[in-house]
Structure 1
Amino acid sequence: MNPITPLTCLLVDDNEMNRLTLEHLIELTPNLKLVASFANAVDCLAFFRQGGQVDIAFLDIEMPLLSGLDLVRILPTPQPDVILVTSHRDFALDAFELRVTDYVVKPVELPRFLQAVERVIKARQTPEALPEAHTPANEQHIFVKVNKKMVRVKFEELLYIEALSDYSVLVLDKQKLIVYNTLKSLEERLPSSSFARVHRSYIVNTRRIDVIEDHMLVFGKHEVPVSKSYQEGFYRQLRRA
C-alpha cells in the first residue's frame, strides 16, 4: 500500500458528541479521509448495499434498531477493517469472535485512536490481513463463543455442524455446542481439506465419516443427508482426499 495514499473511512454513532469527537480525531490524522458519518447503523448498511466502500469503519456498538455488532455480521463483502468504539468492555468477546481489527473504549483519546489506525495499516501490509488467513492451514482448531465464554473446538473432535436459524449447532464427539454464528461464517473459518458443505443446513468433517449409504453420511449414531445440489461437489472432494 502506498503510504501517502490516505485510507478512506466512515463512522457510525448515535451520539452526536461522540460523532463530533471521532470526526475531529480523523481530521487530525493525516493518513485518514472521512467519507461518511452516520447517526445509525441502518443508514450505514444502506451505504454499503448501494455500493459504497471504505477502508475503515469506526462503529459504535450500542445503537437502536441495529447494533454495531449486528452490522458487522451482515455487512456485504468486501468488508472494511472494523474498529469498534464503545463505552463498555463487556463486548470484547464478541469483538474477538468477529475478528474486528481493534476494540477501543470511550472516551477515545488521540494516542489510542492512532494506535488503532496503525493496527489497520500493519494488517494491510501483512498476509494476516487476507481473509483466508483467519484460519491458517496449519491450525487445528477454532474458537467459538458459547454463552459468554470462548471455547476451543478441535477439528479432530468436530463431526458436523448444523444450521439452526441464525445459530449453528456444533456436534462433537462428546458434546454439542450452540453458537451465534451462521453456517456460512463458520464455513469460511474451516479448512476445505477436511470440511465440506453437503446440504444448505450441514457442514461435515469428511475425515470423521464412518459410512456413506444412499446419500446419507453416518457419524457413529448420527446421520447427515447429502442434498442433490451438493452431491457432485462433495463426492468430487472425497475422491481428491
Structure 2
Amino acid sequence: MVDLIPLTCVIVDDNEMSRLALEHFVALTPGLELAATLPDGLAALHFLQTHPPVDLLLLDIEMPHLNGLELIRILPQPLPAIVLVTSHQNFAAEAFELPVADYLLKPVDYVRFLQAVQQVRDFWPRAAAAPAPIADNANIFAKVNGRLVRINFDEVFYIEALSTYSVLVTATHKHIVHVTLKSLEERLPFSHFVRVHRSYIANTHRIDAVDDHQLVLGPYTIPVGKLHKAELMRRLAPL
C-alpha cells in the first residue's frame, strides 16, 4: 500500500453544522490532518497569517465580514490548495478567476469530498508527490478523463483556462485536464511555454505572428493581455 503524503487542512465556514460535517469527513479520510476549524474569514486570515502554512483550505464562500472570495485575494503566499464549499450551484463569476482546486456543493457528499481531496493530491504542487508532471523530452503524461495520456507538447499550440480545468489545444485534439492554469504553468518543464493572458499560455515555437492584441498560432488566434505583452516580447527576442 502506498503511503499518502499527510495534508494539513483548515475548515472555514460560518455554519456550525457544515463545519461539523466537514470535520467528520476529514476524520474519516486517511492522510488528512485537521489543523483548525474556524467560523469566519477574519478568524481564518488571522490563523493563516500567524501559523505555519497548511496544505488544504476547505472554504465557505458566503460569510459575514469577509467572504471566501475576498479571503483568497488577501491570503499570504504561497496559497494552500483551496476547495470552495457553497450552497449555490451558480458560483460568482470572480470565483472562476481565482486559483481554486475544486468546488463542493452543500450538502457535501463524502464520495464527492474524496474526489476533491484526490484532485488536490493529483494536481496541486504542494500536495503532489512529484514536483512536476512525468516528462520525457517533449512528452508529458497528463491525466485526461481519469487515465494517463501521453501528450507531445511540441504539438500543443496553446493552453486555455477553463474554470478549474485546462485545455491543451493541438491541431487535431483538445485535451481537458483537471488542473488549474496557474498550477500547470508552475509545473511545466518547458521554457518555450509562456503566459500571454490570464486565461492562456502559448507555445512560442508555434507563434506565427504577433500584433498589439493577439497571437496567431497556426489555425488559431488567441488574445494577448497587456500585463503579459512585455514578457512575451522579451522571450521572443525580435530582431
What TM-score comes out, normalization by structure 2 length? 0.58
What 5-or-longer segments of structure 1 have no aligned partner? 145-154, 160-171, 178-185, 197-204, 208-236
How far off its partner does 1:54 sit? 0.6
Alpha-carbon distance, 1:21 to partner: 0.5
- Distance of 1:64 and 1:157 partners within structure 2: 43
1:195 maps to which residue? 230
1:121 alignment counterpart = 121
What RMSD in Å do the two structures reach over aligned CA positions?
A: 3.4
Q: Is the 8 A contact 1:86 1:104 kept in 2?
A: yes
Q: Where does residue 24 of structure 2 map in the other structure? A: 24
Q: Percent identity?
A: 42
Q: 1:120 offset after TM fit, Å?
A: 0.2
Q: Does 1:143 align with 2:194?
A: no
Alignment correspondent of 2:203 = none
What are the Cα deviations for residues 53-79 of structure 1, in whole angstroms up to 9, with x where unaligned?
110000000000000011111111111
**Aligned equivalents of 1:113, 1:43: Cα separation in 2:** 24
Distance 1:195 1:45 in 2: 34
Q: 1:51 to 1:29 in 2, by over 3 A?
A: same
Deviation at 1:158, TM superposition (A): 3.8
Structure 1 residue matching 2:25: 3-state secondary structure: helix
Determine whether 1:45 maps to 2:48: no
Secondary structure at the counterpart of residue 117 of structure 1? helix
Whole-Å Cα distance in 1 between the matches of residues 54 and 181 of structure 2? 16
Query: Residues 101 and 180 of structure 2 are in contact (CA less than 8 Å); yes or no, is this contact kept in structure 1?
Result: no
Q: CA deviation at 1:88?
A: 0.5
Match of 2:107, SS state, is coil
- Work out the CA distance in 2 between the residues paired with 1:31 and 1:39: 24
For residues 172-187 of structure 1, what are the structure 2 equivalents within 5 Å?
Answer: none
Structure index of larger Rg: 1
1:133 partner amino acid: L
Contact conserved, 1:95 with 1:103, CA < 8 A, in 2?
no
C-alpha distance in structure 2 between counterparts of 1:52 and 1:5, whole Å = 17
- Indicate conservation of the 8 Å contact 2:102/2:116, yes or no: yes
Change (3 A) 1:28 1:107: same
Secondary structure of 1:58's counterpart equals strand
Query: For residues 142 and 130 of structure 1, what CA distance do their matches in structure 2 show?
Result: 9
Distance 2:120 2:212 in 1: 34
Does 1:133 find its partner at 2:187? no
Q: 1:24 to 1:157 in 2, by over 3 A?
A: farther
For these two proteins, the number of residue pairs brought into alignment is 164
Query: Any conservation in 2 of the 1:14–1:39 contact (CA below 8 Å)?
Result: yes
The equivalent residue for 1:87 is 87
The 3-state SS of whatever aligns with 2:199 is strand
Q: Which residue of 1 aligns with 2:153?
A: none
1:161-185 per-position Cα deviation (integer Å, ceiling 9, x unaligned): xxxxxxxxxxx99xxx9xxxxxxxx
Q: Secondary structure at the match of 2:5?
A: coil
